[in-house]
Structure 1
Amino acid sequence: MHSLTERSPVPLRTPPGGQAATFALTALAPASWGTTYVVTTHLLPPGHPLFAGLMRALPAGLLALAITRVLPRGDWWWKAAVLGVLNIGGMPLLFLAAGRLPGGVAATLGAAQPLLVAGLALAVLRDRPTVRGLTWGVIGVIGVGLVVLGPQARLDAVGVLAGLGHTATMAGGVVLTKRWGRPAEAGPLTLAGWQLTVGGLLLLPLTLTFEGVPQRIDAGAVGGYLWLGSMGGLIAYTLWFRGIGKLPLGASAPLVLLSPLVATVIGIALGESLNPLQTLGFALALAALLAAQLNTPNQIRGGRNR
């Protein structure tokens, strides 16, 4: 395994016609994260959010390091650590929310991420959000809320705070990933491997100290951990970091709306149904997601190594 020298940042220009493909690949990440809620509630042992986060992060991160054999160098040691804490280290908060709230309710909290990203982008990147972008961001949150929130929604204070905490850390990770970009020789898989490993190493002592290993891990749980670590972990984060580097923040941040929408579709497949108000909300959320992809500039700012 060799260390990485810092060079000029990776070119961040998406070729003509390539943004649609980049958008589609990036969308797979939040779509896969939408399965986290059903996997957590139906397959994983209850009461072990730290262990779930550990199993999602550390094996995938070590696998990525073994494949790429590239280590950070210079200030990328601390940058990778910060990004790993923000993007991966807060993962147990997601599992905690998923365990204490209905899947759709937990996923809805993540719909606030585009608005948080817009605020952080203004503070960190001096990237002023447009009125149009903020409007569609609010519409997206309202739409998702109409789908999953209602008089039957069970709101647990700890679950709500955990879900909002995970949303905030991910928003910070998105903005700093855009600000710092990645070293020229570090591909998206390398960047994902660094962060998954950092997050996993952070969670390891916490898991052993406060939770330990579940007493019983059956075949369903093994399958759940494998899914979360592969499609929901290594593959999803590789596609996500690749997309953040290529797409404008205004196009990539709203993609997180796919997570609650996928969770809703899974609920329908399991026998749930949508009333007219929920159907309207679903349509509004989809409209907000698609509107964010229209009229976005092909060349983006940010992504410099500093």
Structure 2
Amino acid sequence: MNRAGLVALTALAPISWGSTYAVTTEFLPPDRPLFTGLMRALPAGLALLALTRVLPRGVWWGKAAVLGALNIGAFFPLLFLAAYRLPGGVAAVVGSVGPLFVAGLAALVLSERPTTRTLLTATAAAFGVSLVVLRAGAALDLVGVLAGLVSSASMAAGTVFTKRWGRPEGVGPLALTGWQLTAGGLLIAPVAFFVEGAPPALDGRNLAGYAYLALANTAVAYWLWFRGIERLTATSATLLGPLSPITAAVIGWAALGQALSPVQLLGMGIAFGATLLGQFRPRGGGRGGMFSSASRNAQKGSMDLSDLSVRR
């Protein structure tokens, strides 16, 4: 698969995550964010474990637990806390600094030195997202801001260490995704029951919403995301993140009857342009741009779809 195709497939993950708000508000019981996080992660993880029938071995028990905590178990509750404490889309803006966290961590852990273009692109994307989601008079809450920043840092660390550790030989992306989702779901479960109590009564509409979140929005989306992280640079992958709030805004306009102002449209254009620019690789050193031939990493993992027992 060439790099353009790889980027397009990876981009389906944040695009899918952009539908979370609409599904949550239209299909799920209100005021149960931790239970929703649990229902996203644990059923999806168990389903992938049942499909692949591969368990971690040796040090990968610990690595899977760490990645599950960073990408899922800590990220989901902190994200929901930020969303509840920060009105008017401020949480989305705080979360949009994730590419800057990834750029810094990638420089330390992966020796991926951030270029000026990368930093400017990440900043432009965050600015574009702010134009899309911020409303006049949006208030700041210290706890909410800290939760949003830590959730972004958690996901950034998970992205970088997913890239750093790769996957065990003979284990594919579906299996590794299942490990992380299961570990993250098991971490969320006691927090959800302690904070929110027993699960709510669910009707058919609720079950359909949770099924979508668990399967398409989580199992498939995270498989595509972790698969993309392995083959792209960590910074390139995380610069696809602004597609999530852009998608949420488009769904709100198309399906929920929400209006889009000229400022929001401008912000969407800036964020999308920055996201696209972040996927181009400079020419030179034998490495072409985004639409050149496949990268070595993409070639290395080209057989993953034919072997469901392999990675994440």
Q: Bin the TM-score by the shorter chain.
A: 0.7 to 0.9
- Partners of 1:38 and 1:103 within 8 A in 2: no
Q: Which residue is 1:4 aligned to?
A: none
Q: Of residues 208, 212, 225 in structure 2, which corresponds to 1:223?
A: 208
3-state SS of 1:168 partner: helix
1:220-243 deviation digits (Å, cap 9, x = unpaired): 322221111111111111111110
- Structure 2: distance between partners of 1:28 and 1:103: 25
Letter in 1 for 2:147: A
Q: Which residue is 1:36 aligned to?
A: 20
Gaps in structure 1 of 5+ consecutive residues:
1-14
- Structure 2: distance between partners of 1:285 and 1:133: 14
- Partners of 1:48 and 1:211 within 8 A in 2: yes
Q: Does 1:283 align with 2:269?
A: yes
Letter in 1 for 2:266: L
Moved more, 209-218 or 117-126: 209-218
Moved more, 74-83 or 163-172: 163-172
For residues 286-301 of structure 1, what are the structure 2 equivalents within 5 Å?
286-295=272-281, 297=287, 298-299=295-296
- CA RMSD in angstroms, aligned pairs only: 2.2
Q: Of residues 260, 266, 277 in structure 1, which corresponds to 2:245?
A: 260
Aligned residues: 286
Letter in 2 for 1:28: L
Gaps in structure 2 of 5+ consecutive residues:
288-294, 301-312
Shift in Å at residue 101 of structure 1?
4.6
Shift in Å at residue 213 of structure 1?
2.8
1:192-223 deviation digits (Å, cap 9, x = unpaired): 00001101111222223332234332333222
3-state SS of 1:27 partner: helix
Q: Which residue is 2:290 aligned to?
A: none
Moved more, 229-238 or 93-102: 93-102
3-state SS of 2:72 partner: helix
- Structure 2: distance between partners of 1:39 and 1:99: 17
Q: Of residues 140, 157, 180 in structure 1, which corresponds to 2:165?
A: 180
Shift in Å at residue 157 of structure 1?
4.6
Q: Which residue is 1:140 aligned to?
A: 125
3-state SS of 2:67 partner: helix
Letter in 1 for 2:11: A
Normalised to the residue count of structure 2, the TM-score between the two structures is 0.85
Identity %: 56
Q: Does 1:127 align with 2:112?
A: yes
Q: Of residues 36, 46, 64 in structure 2, which corresponds to 1:52?
A: 36
Assess, with a 3 A threshold, how the Cα gap between structure 1 residues 159 and 32 changes in structure 2: closer, same or farther.
Answer: farther
3-state SS of 2:239 partner: helix
Shift in Å at residue 124 of structure 1?
1.5
- Partners of 1:104 and 1:263 within 8 A in 2: no
3-state SS of 2:169 partner: coil
Normalised to the residue count of structure 1, the TM-score between the two structures is 0.86
- Structure 2: distance between partners of 1:279 and 1:240: 26
3-state SS of 1:70 partner: coil
Q: Of residues 223, 233, 256 in structure 1, which corresponds to 2:218?
A: 233
1:118-138 deviation digits (Å, cap 9, x = unpaired): 011112122210001111110
